[in-house]
A and B are shown apart, each in its own frame.
Chain A
Amino acid sequence: MRAQFRSRIRIILALVVCVTFLILIRLYFVQIVHGEAYAQKADRQFASGGSGLFDRGSIYFMRKNGTPISAATLSTGFLVAINPQTLENPEAAYAAITAAASSTLSYNAFLAAAAKKTQVYIEVAHYLSEENGKKLAAKSIRGVQVLRERWRYYPGGTLAAHSIGTVSYGSGTTLSGQTGLEAAYDDLLSRSGDVLYKNFFAELFSNVGNLLVSAKDAREGDIVTTIEPEVQTRLENDIAKVNQRYSSQRSGGIIMDPRTGAIIALATYPTYDANNRQNVNPSLLGNPLVEHVHEFGSIMKPLTLTAGLDAGVITPQTTYNDTGCITVNTARICNWDLKARGVIPMEQIIVQSLNLGAAWVATELGQERFRNYFTTLFGQKTGIDLPNEGRALFNNLSKPQQINYNTAAYGQGVAMTPMQMIRALGALANGGVMVHPHLTSSIRLKSGIERKLDWSKTIPVFGAKAVRDTTEMMTAVVDEKLEGGKAKIPTMSVAAKTGTAQLTNGQGGYYSDRFFHSFVGFFPAYNPQFIILLYTNDPRNVTYAADTLGSAFLDLTHFLIDYYAVPPDRGFATTTPA
């Protein structure tokens, strides 16, 4: 009896062991072999219609006091989807949805969607707030699903929109960065396969290492930019005012620290709201400050002068005979006012913005030396951390005609991006050394480590003495010429130069009445903390850059001096007429 009982027990035990073993095998297949497929299925059931909630790293502005402010982050809310097969009362459902959602399908489109009885899932509204989503869900309308949703959100809206960039599907099936920093740092900002829950068994059986040290945490993170939000706001406002006042095609500006290459602000107008791009012209999405090239005109003259001084072919005391107009290779070039100045020193080339003076320096320099300086300044891309950077156009400097060199000396016949231009001019504000312009100072990895990016690579171009001599000439522009001398700041030396270039007419010539205006300046002139480059393309009913951009430059200069409390660097008379 006892033996019989024991054998029965053993049979039952064997069965239990077998069943347990089968369960474990099944568990292995469910959790590990087919785990991903089940995870996606679960996502579809309780998270959203897609493969999972959208996730992406943040982009931060950095205030002057070191406080990060979100430039791009994530917002959370709900989407509404309908199941046409179970939706009983489309009219009532539409009324409830429109009451909760700020935007949804039109009434007719909704009814058309509800009539598609072969489908079980159609999204009809997005971006519901937490409160509205929960209210709608509480109504438990049959055939209406309220599902958790996350989306990219730009708290600044238009603020630095061209630089921060956009996220969209592009030509693929997943959301990814398409322009700006979103594209440049897409690998870092993207989040791969991170779902809201963990597969405990799968982690336990196959992925113990990643529970402790995750490889993803070492490659995914957030980025911290060098953009200061208040300076950016001010620059955008000034640029917009210029563009609207003179009905320009486009205007832009960059503020950079010439010592490090950190871009403090960069703006272009027209712009767009990064949170609402439905009706935005796609041509606005790129960044013209790094993608478009322009002939900048006379702001090239300080570079030409510095090259002449650096090469030793001129000194500040050198004079030349200015005749107003000259003919070179059958082409006639003149000063902006067609007037002759006679025998004058080098400083007047900058102060009076004389084309003939710049052309004379280029001739003295010689073609090869001029080309070499130009190639060093503009021959390579700046390497800024933005996509689709353009290249400078100066192929005409490979030809032997002197006219090409003479016109390039005052910024016509050669074209470069605003970013290349501020980098080159930044050499004048940094002892003759070009820096590496950049928008990102550091990345914050998910592991908690913050990694500073190395932008220390520099390119020496000019000697310090040549740069200082040119700076002195540029300081005279503000102290003596700008606004008739009223722009002079007694306690701060500011170096500047205006540029007015004729626009090309597309037929190998130039318009006589359409211009590209530019303005560059840096301060404190002999130990600069800021360099500002402004431009406006094709302003109407105005000829000179000093008129269009002078007040914007001065507004930004005074703002930066006050905002950063830049200490005075000289002690002239302390009271001036306003």
Chain B
Amino acid sequence: MLNFFHRLPYSVTSLCVTLVAVLVIAYIGLIAITMSYAALTVEFSQSVRNNEAVVAALEQQYFAAMAHIAKTDYAAAGYVTPRTKVFVPAKSVTALR
């Protein structure tokens, strides 16, 4: 065992120090990645939700416009019922009568 370490071109101490240094750097790096990832996730998720809320507000306006059109009393608005209704002439397709 001792012979094995003696054959290495560098000492066990420097090997261990390097290893620990790498581990510490990796640990700090992972913490940084985790925090960045969490921050980005929160930001992106909130951004999506905010956009959905904006779309929902627009959809609410669309529904309100539809309801307004459906409720409009055209007679009260001054329009009169036509005297005759003219239908597009068509050849009978499926009807029996």
Quick check: A16 and B20 within 8 Å, CB to CB?
Answer: yes
Mask for B84-97, Cβ within 8 A of A = 1, else 0? Answer: 11111111111111
The CA of A6 and the CA of B12, in the complex, are separated in Å by 10
- Which B residue sits closest to A234, measured CB to CB? B70
A198 contacts partner chain B, Cβ-Cβ < 8 Å:
yes
B13 A157 Cβ-Cβ under 8 A: no
Contact mask for chain A residues 182-212; partner B; CB cutoff 8 A; 1 contact, 0 none: 0000000000000011101100000000000
Q: Determine whether the beta carbon of B63 is less than 8 Å from that of A156.
A: yes
* B45 within 8 A of partner (CB): yes
Q: Check if A196 sits within 8 Å of B55, measured CB to CB.
A: no
Question: Given the interface contacts A17-B16, A17-B20, does A198 sit within 8 Å of B53 by beta carbon?
Answer: no
**Please, what's the 1-or-0 string for B68-88, where 1 marks a CB less than 8 Å from any CB in chain A?**
001100000000011111111
Give every chain B residue within 8 A of A13 (Cβ-Cβ).
13, 16-17, 20
Neighbouring B residues of A77 by C-beta, 8 Å: 53
Minimum CB–CB distance from A26 to chain B (whole Å) comes to 12
Q: Are the C-beta atoms of A524 and B94 separated by less than 8 Å?
A: yes
Partner of A526, one of B38, B59, B83, B94: B94
Chain A nearest CB: distance from B72 CB in Å? 10
Q: What are 25 pairs between A and B in contact, CB < 8 Å?
A: A6-B13, A13-B13, A13-B17, A17-B20, A70-B55, A130-B50, A156-B60, A159-B63, A159-B67, A197-B42, A198-B38, A198-B41, A200-B33, A201-B30, A236-B70, A475-B97, A479-B97, A527-B94, A570-B95, A571-B89, A574-B86, A575-B86, A576-B84, A577-B85, A578-B85
User: Are B90 and A570 in touch, CB under 8 angstroms?
Assistant: yes
Q: Which residues of A contact B67 (CB under 8 A)?
A: 159, 233, 237
Separation in Å of the A524 CB from the closest CB of chain B?
6
A489 at the interface (CB under 8 A from B): yes
The answer to whether B85 and A570 touch across the interface, beta carbons within 8 angstroms, is no
Residues of A within 8 A of B86 (CB): 574-575
B52 CB to nearest A CB, Å: 6
- Give the dominant DSSP class at A's interface: mixed
Contact B85 A20 (CB under 8 A): no
Say whether A155 contacts B60, CB under 8 Å. yes
Q: Given A6-B13, A17-B16, A571-B92, are A493 and B59 neighbors across the interface (CB < 8 Å)?
A: no
Q: Hey, which chain B residues are within 8 Å of A237, CB to CB?
A: 67, 70-71
The answer to the question of A338 belonging to the interface, with a C-beta cut-off of 8 Å to chain B, is no
Chain B residues 16-40 with CB under 8 Å of chain A are: 16-17, 20, 23-24, 27, 30, 33-34, 37-38
- Of B37, B45, B62, B88, the contact of A574 (CB 8 Å cutoff): B88
Interface residues of A (CB under 8 A from B): 6, 9-10, 13, 16-17, 20, 23, 69-70, 73-77, 130, 148, 150, 153, 155-157, 159, 196-198, 200-201, 229-230, 233-234, 236-237, 468, 472, 475-476, 479, 489-491, 493, 524-527, 567-571, 574-578
| Chain B nearest Cβ from A431, distance in angstroms | 12
Q: Which residues of A contact B20 (CB under 8 A)?
A: 13, 16-17, 20
Other A-B pairs, 13, CB within 8 Å; known A13-B13, A76-B50: A70-B55, A155-B63, A197-B37, A197-B41, A237-B67, A468-B96, A489-B87, A491-B90, A568-B93, A569-B90, A569-B94, A575-B87, A577-B85
**How many residue pairs between the two chains, A and B, have CB atoms under 8 Å in the bound complex?**
151
Which of under 10, 10 to 19, 20 to 34, or 35 or more describes the interface residues of B? 35 or more
A157 to chain B: closest residue by CB: B63
Asked if B62 and A69 make an inter-chain contact with CB atoms under 8 angstroms apart, the answer reads yes
A491 to B23, CA, bound (A): 83
Q: Contact check, A200 vs B37: say whether CB atoms are below 8 A apart.
A: yes
A489: chain B residues within 8 A (beta carbon): 87
A469 to B: closest C-beta gap in Å: 10
How far is the CB of B31 from the nearest CB of chain A, in Å?
Answer: 9
| Max count, chain B CB within 10 A of own CB: residue among A148, A472, A526 | A526
Which of B63, B67, B84: most chain A CB closer than 10 A?
B63
Let me know if A524 and B49 touch, CB within 8 A.
no
Q: How many angstroms from the CA of A77 to the CA of B46 in the assembled complex?
A: 10
* Residue of A whose beta carbon sits closest to that of B93: A569
B2 in the interface, Cβ–Cβ < 8 Å?
Answer: no
- Known A76-B49, A472-B96, A574-B87; judge A233-B63 contact (CB<8 A): yes
In the assembly, what is the distance between CA of A6 and CA of B17, in Å? 13
B66 at the interface (CB under 8 A from A): yes
Interface-centre pick from A155, A468, A476, A489 (highest chain B CB count, 10 A): A155
- B81 to chain A: which residues have CB within 8 Å? 578
* Minimum CB–CB distance for B86 against chain A, Å: 5
Instruction: Point out the residue from B45, B82, B88, B91 that lies within 8 Å of A196, measured CB to CB.
Output: B45
